[in-house]
Amino acid sequence: MRTRFDKELYHLHEAMEEIGQLCKESIFESTDTLFTGNYHEAEDTINLHHRIHKAERDIEETCLRLLMEQQPVATDLRIISASLKAVYDLERIGEIGADIADLVLNEHLSVANDMLNLKSMSQIATSMVNDAVTALANQNVELAKAVIDRDDQVDEGFDKAKAFLIDNFNKDGNPEYLINLLMVAKYFEKIGDHAVNIAKWSLFVTTGKTGR
């Protein structure tokens, strides 16, 4: 029975890493289409969210089955519970990627000169997601804490983007365009928040607590 349970846990581990990879692809593709205006890639990002959503449902079913059939205790219980919680944040990250792609498709959004430094925000957010998923998979406390600390960088990027918008709102000939750009910056900030949530669930696996 334990051998079967360990195998199921291993499959859960793999599934969490796979959905994490899909989320990283979603952020990368949505950022790329934002700067290239590639509508085909935007559509691919939206389709990618459908795969992430299905992966979330599959992981939820696996977690619930393990909880009901195997009745895990101690660390195993925390691993399953944390995965069940963290997969929600991963699905939301995929949804945010699709929302950015939808903006590109419907608002003809393109940021050739990166006025709000969105590339930097995207890179930080992607690295946070990557490290948060790795921390959860490997029960790495220090990496989880580093993800939480890095959230300040994304918040600072959003604050700078907001300040730029305030300074240039009346100067720019297309204020609606600037507002859409700020919305993208807010999306990246939200991705950072979801990465922090995942990192906190990683801490929960090891310490039994979600706080620092």
| pLDDT tens by residue, 158-197 | 999 999 888 877 776 677 888 888 999 999 999 999 999 9
pTM, to two decimals: 0.92
* Model pLDDT for residues 76-106, shown as the tens digit of each residue: 999 999 999 999 999 999 999 999 999 988 8
Average pLDDT (54-68) is 94
pLDDT of residue 145: 96
* Model pLDDT for residues 26-47, shown as the tens digit of each residue: 999 999 998 888 889 999 999 9
Q: Residues 127, 29, 163, 178: what is their CA dihedral angle, to the nearest 10 degrees? A: 180
Among candidate residues 29, 178, 24, 165, the one with its CA nearest the CA of residue 109: 178
pLDDT of residue 105: 87
Average pLDDT of the chain to the nearest whole number: 90
Please answer whether residues 61 and 96 qualify as being in contact, where contact means their C-beta atoms are separated by less than 8 angstroms: no
- The CA-CA-CA angle for residues 41, 126, 91, to 5°, reads 75
pLDDT of residue 6: 84
pLDDT of residue 212: 60
User: What percentage of residues in the chain have a pLDDT greater than 70?
Assistant: 96
Q: Does domain 2-207 have CATH number 1.20.58.220?
A: yes
Domain ranges of the chain: 2-207
Q: Is the pLDDT of residue 129 over 60?
A: yes
> 157 vs 75, which has greater pLDDT?
157
Q: Is the pLDDT of residue 112 over 80?
A: no
| Highest mean pLDDT out of 66-75, 76-85, 104-113 | 76-85
Please answer whether residues 178 and 165 qualify as being in contact, where contact means their C-beta atoms are separated by less than 8 angstroms: yes
